[in-house]
Every structure is written in C-alpha cells, then in structure tokens.
Structure 1
C-alpha cells in the first residue's frame, strides 16, 4: 500500500535499512523485488519509504539477503504496518518536516545522549528560556511561529516522564550555562530546572568547565538516539540550515567517540550540580 503523504522518519529508515541489506548481499533491486513477488518500481518505493511493506515480507527479504541477525530482522519487522498517529502529526502543517521528525526519533529511542556547547538541551529547557531562544532566531520568527515551536518543544519533553522511562544524558559545556537567553531571572530559573532534572533517576547532566583540555569542540548540538538494536541508532545534528539525520555505521561510530570524549572532559554528576548552583548564584 502506498504511503499517504510524505514518508515519516520511521518509514524512510525502514526502507533505507532494507536497501542496505540488499546492497550488502550484492543483489539488484529487481532481484530483491522478485523474492517478494513485486515489480522493481514497487521495490524502489519500499526502499524510499513511499510504499508499505509487511512484516512477513521484511523477513522474506532478510532471508533472501542472507541476514542472520534475528534481532535486527525483528526490529525491522516491528517498524512495518500502518502507522498510528503520534502527537507530533498535528504539527506537520506548522513546522518543517525535519523538525517534526525529531519528536518521532525521540519517541522511538530507547536512550538519548546529547552534547551541546552554546545552547541548552531542548528536552530540559524551561518554557521561558525556549521562548527567549526562539526570539533570537535568524531570520526572525513571527510570534505565532515562536509559540508553535515552544509548545512543540514542551510536548517533546514528555519522553523523559513517560513509561518506560527513557534514559537521557546531556553533556553541557560551561559556555551554554552563561549564554544569555532572556533576563537573568529566566537564566536562573533555567539553571535551577537543569539541577532539578539532573536529580531524576533517568537523567544525567554533566558539565564541561572552560578549563578542561582536549575538549572536542563542536558548534552544533549532537543527539545520539539509541534504537531497538544498535544498527538502528541515529545521530541528529542540529544546525542553522536545519536537522540532519545520520545512520551510516561510520558516522554512528564517529559521534559515539565524540560524545565519549566530551563526557570524559566533564565533571561528575554531583560536581556538575554544584557547578550549576554556583553559576546560578552569580547571575
């Protein structure tokens, strides 16, 4: 069945993974199509996420491609079927598609790991801090666009409070703690909120002080989203031109190493809380 509307992040990822398996097996899309009794054009649409595929056909393709990783195969099979509406679907006409995909990615992740240098991690931002940050956007956003983004960000934060709890680790450079967005009171409230969130059982926040050496500086926020199996992990890079979703094995390995290096430069969780208290007191 053809996908109605643009494919979602999940649909695109399922198709991309099936294409990877086929290419590793050295088979053409025509050969892959023959194994499940469809035309090559249909196979191309499946691999582009523009046509649905059943769990049984996913398993048949995996067998034809000599994929014996049962965990991966079942994880892919679980990504099939008719997609239920997520809360983020109501924003598809209001926000860029890639931004909506961020919420879909976070909702499906088994764990999230974030590294930021000059911005606050979105999932632990207060409403007023988020609003102040969006007011600084270039080009400037209209008031209603700011409010759409604020409400969207707040709803994304539900992943840290639902069941089962999503593990969340944020590595925050000291620069982000000093970068002003709004009034000093907004910043103090934001730092207090960071401290409170860091005390939750599923949340760790580590601060990297200015004086730490060997810090692998990265100007863009990095989010590493763990999938049901490691092969379905995704890296999200947030930049001025939008969101980039990366899933190549080499890219995943690189950003795991970057986040490992960042965390190795950070203070412990307890010392990070003390550090944030001091910064808040000095505002």
Structure 2
C-alpha cells in the first residue's frame, strides 16, 4: 500500500495506539514485525500512520499483542475503516494543518470540555468576535484569508456533542473589538448556555484558592478513556496530548478548575450582571 501524501491527526493517533499495544506487550519493533511476519519498515509505517491498515489487521495485531480490551480494539478497528473525508478537508489549502486537526478532533469527540482564561471559547464566539480576533492577527491576514478563517471557525461550531465551557472572568471582560461586540458576545454566551448540550461555568476574579491554568486547554472525550485527547493551545501552536500520564494530569486539572468555578445558575447570573453593567 502506497504511503499517504497527508497524514491526519486521527490516522496518526491510530498508529500511536497500535504502537502502545505493542509496547505494552513488551515487544520491540523488530520483535513485533517478526511475530506478525511482516517487514519492520511496514510495521513502522503503520504505527506512524503513513500507510493505512484494515480492521482485520488491527484485530490481528491486537490478538498478537495479547490485548484483551475488546472495547478499545473495536474502536481502533472502526477508526481503521473510516474513509469519508471530513468537511474540514475542504480548507486544507487555506488554513494551517493544526486547525484541521482541531476540527477533526472536535468532530469525533463524544464530549468536549474547555477552560479559557483570556479568550472566549472558540465554539461560543459570535461572528463579530471571530472577525475581530482574526483581524488583529500578526502578520495581518488578507481579506480573503480573513473570510476563510471566519467561515472555518463558524463551521466548527456546528456540533452536537455535549460541550462544557469554563471561562475565567478575565476572558469575559477583555474586548476583542468595541463595547457593542463585547455585549453581543456575552448575550450569545447566555443564549448558548440555555441549550441542553451546552454548560457554561465562570471562574470569577475573587474566587479563593485558584492558582489558574497557564494555557487554554480542551479535553476531548473519546469512545473509550484511552482515546481521550487534550489540546493545549500555546503561543507556539496547538499540541495534542494522548499519553496516559498526560491525560491523568489534565483530568486532575479539570477537577480543580471545576471546583473553583461557580455553579451553572450562579454563572448565568454572573454573566447577566456583566451585561447590565455595560
């Protein structure tokens, strides 16, 4: 099978999970290839996501690695059979590949949780807010690039998975544009918080015992816990984290953030008061 010209984050993740199964079995790449009766280079390419793998081969690999987690194997086999191109592929020549990875992650997640300390969560931003954010990008985007970025972000918001957004008060008060846009944004958050699938909670400035979180983060829940993913949005770009130790760390971060946040009703009242003060 020919190597892929483009490897998506999801294809790469499938390969990573197959490598994890091999390593848990205590096999090196050479040992694994020998057990499977294939060239070591072929196994390496499979684990890197450079070549596709069938559901049957995934199950064979899991069997050879003595993996008894049937739920995980079923999910990996299903990932191997995915052939439909996601809507985000339409933007491959227009937006950085990292943006596509995020859209793909959000699309497949069974649930999304985010904490934002300086920005309104992307999936809750109004069109005016999105436009103001991208208009301030350095270097400056062309008008065409700006429109593409706006359309892409708004398209990302067309999700049905449960979404929990924990927002620090600072993010609510920072104005990407003017007072009108800021007020409209807060009203939009209130409207979205009324949706059954959306939960909004606020961390106010005056909460005690909250040391904060350095970078914005998104926790995407997979069909099994091993396939959860953390997206860290840093000044140097987004990073997808999937190692067990990393997932456990951010599960604890999530717990601490939620402990500091106001309840749902209190949070809605808090945003209402901000709107009234504008």
Given the superposition, is the C-alpha separation of residues 220 and 139 from structure 1 closer, same or farther in structure 2, using an over 3 Å criterion? farther
User: CA separation in 1, counterparts of 2:127 and 2:171?
Assistant: 17
How far residue 48 of structure 1 moved from its aligned partner, in angstroms, is: 0.3
| CA contact 1:59–1:73 (8 Å) conserved in 2 | yes
The residue that corresponds to 2:138 in the other structure is: 138
* Secondary structure of the corresponding residue to residue 6 of structure 1: coil
SS class of match (1:95): coil
- 1:116 equivalent in structure 2: 116
Could you tell me how far 1:144 is from its partner in structure 2? 2.1
Relative to the length of structure 1, the TM-score reads 0.95
Q: Is the 8 A contact 2:218 2:232 kept in 1?
A: yes
Question: Does the Cα contact within 8 Å between 2:36 and 2:64 map onto a contact in 1?
Answer: no
Distance change (3 Å), C-alpha of 1:224 and 1:103: same
Q: 1:64-96, CA deviations, whole angstroms, 9 ceiling, x for partnerless residues?
A: 111100011111111003521110001111111
Q: How big is each residue's C-alpha offset from its partner over 1:105-140, in whole Å with a ceiling of 9 and x where there is no partner?
A: 000000000000010000011000011111222333
Alignment partner for residue 260 of structure 1, among 249, 255, 260? 255
Quick check: 166-175 or 134-143, which moved more?
134-143
Contact 1:216/1:261 (CA < 8 Å) preserved in 2?
no
Shift of 1:254: 0.9
1:276 is matched with 271
Contact 2:58 2:73 in 1 (8 A): yes
Counterpart CA distance in 2 for 1:253 and 1:216 is 19
Using the TM superposition, give the Cα deviation of residue 248 of structure 1 relative to its aligned residue in structure 2, in angstroms. 0.5
By how many angstroms is 1:3 displaced?
4.5
Matches of 2:59 and 2:163 in 1, distance apart?
Answer: 32
Gaps of at least 5 residues in structure 2 are none
> SS of the residue aligned with 2:157?
helix
Aligned to 2:137, the other structure's residue is in SS state: coil
Partner of 1:77: 77
Candidates 189, 192, 196, aligned match of 2:191? 196
The residue that corresponds to 1:62 in the other structure is 62
Cα distance 1:5–1:216, how it changes in 2: closer, same or farther (>3 A)?
farther
Aligned position for 1:38: 38
Q: Determine the C-alpha separation between the residues in 2 that align with 1:70 and 1:166.
A: 24
Structure 1: segments with no counterpart, 5+ residues: 160-164
Q: Which runs of 4+ in 1 moved over 4 A?
A: none
Q: C-alpha root-mean-square deviation of aligned residues, in Å?
A: 1.3
For 1:18 and 1:248, locate their aligned partners in 2 and report how far apart those are by CA, in whole Å: 13
Q: For the residues of structure 2 that align with 1:156 and 1:35, how far apart are their CA atoms?
A: 43
Q: Does 1:220 align with 2:188?
A: no
Specify the alignment match of 1:52 in structure 2.
Answer: 52
Whether 1:206 aligns to 2:201 is yes
Query: In the aligned structure 2, how far is the partner of 1:82 from the partner of 1:208?
Result: 39
Aligned length in residues: 278
